[in-house]
């Protein structure tokens, strides 16, 4: 009988956080839309022959830049969408068009972009503390990479 009171009290204390838990306001569905290539923004109109391959490292402005938007991914934390600027066949820059308004997401975005530029693909690690946003980022990024290939 002496043990019954502490067991009951600790059981109730352990259940209180479960009762008070409030999930996110958004529904945890993940949907993707087809990626749409953004309008091309030529970096230099001086190159009149687009079929001339330039494999030298003299200037990256000779290759036309192509901007492609990834799919819009709805996650439990919010909407994620990226825009990728390709310089030739390489990823020149990545920009978040839409991202959840969350502190972990704000901290994770620079890490995700840096890893993308280093890996030059969507095969990157998720950021601890922003796993859901990282997965949405990778999905949108992969859609942009797929759209660029077509």
**Percent with pLDDT over 70 in the chain:** 71
Per-residue model confidence (pLDDT) at position 63: 57
What are the tens digits of pLDDT across the range 70-111? 999 998 888 999 999 998 888 899 999 998 888 888 888 999
What is the predicted pLDDT for the residue at 24?
A: 58
pTM of the predicted model, to two decimals?
0.59
Contact 80, 137 (CB under 8 A): yes
> What is the SS3 assignment for 11?
helix
- pLDDT at position 31 is 42
User: Higher-confidence residue: 112 or 15?
Assistant: 112
How much is the pLDDT for 6?
A: 85
pLDDT average, residue stretch 65-69 = 88
Alpha-carbon distance of 86 to 63, in angstroms, equals 10
pLDDT at residue 23, as a whole number: 63
Q: How far apart are alpha carbons 83 and 88 in whole angstroms?
A: 16
Query: Which carries the bigger pLDDT value, residue 23 or residue 106?
Result: 106
Q: How far apart are CA 29 and CA 76, in angstroms?
A: 6
């Amino acid at each position: 009988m002496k043990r019954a009171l502490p067991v009951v009290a600790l059981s109730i204390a352990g259940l209180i956080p479960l009762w008070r838990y409030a999930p996110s306001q958004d529904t945890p569905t993940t949907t993707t839309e087809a990626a749409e290539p953004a309008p091309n923004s030529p970096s230099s109109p001086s190159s009149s022959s687009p079929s001339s391959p330039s494999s030298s490292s003299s200037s990256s402005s000779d290759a036309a830049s192509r901007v492609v938007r990834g799919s819009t991914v709805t996650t439990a934390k919010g909407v994620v969408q990226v825009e990728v600027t390709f310089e030739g066949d390489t990823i020149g820059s990545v920009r978040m068009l839409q991202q959840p308004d969350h502190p972990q997401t704000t901290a994770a975005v620079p890490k995700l972009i840096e890893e993308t530029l280093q890996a030059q693909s969507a095969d990157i690690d998720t950021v601890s503390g922003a796993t859901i946003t990282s997965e949405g980022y990778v999905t949108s990024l992969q859609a942009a990479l797929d759209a660029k290939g077509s």
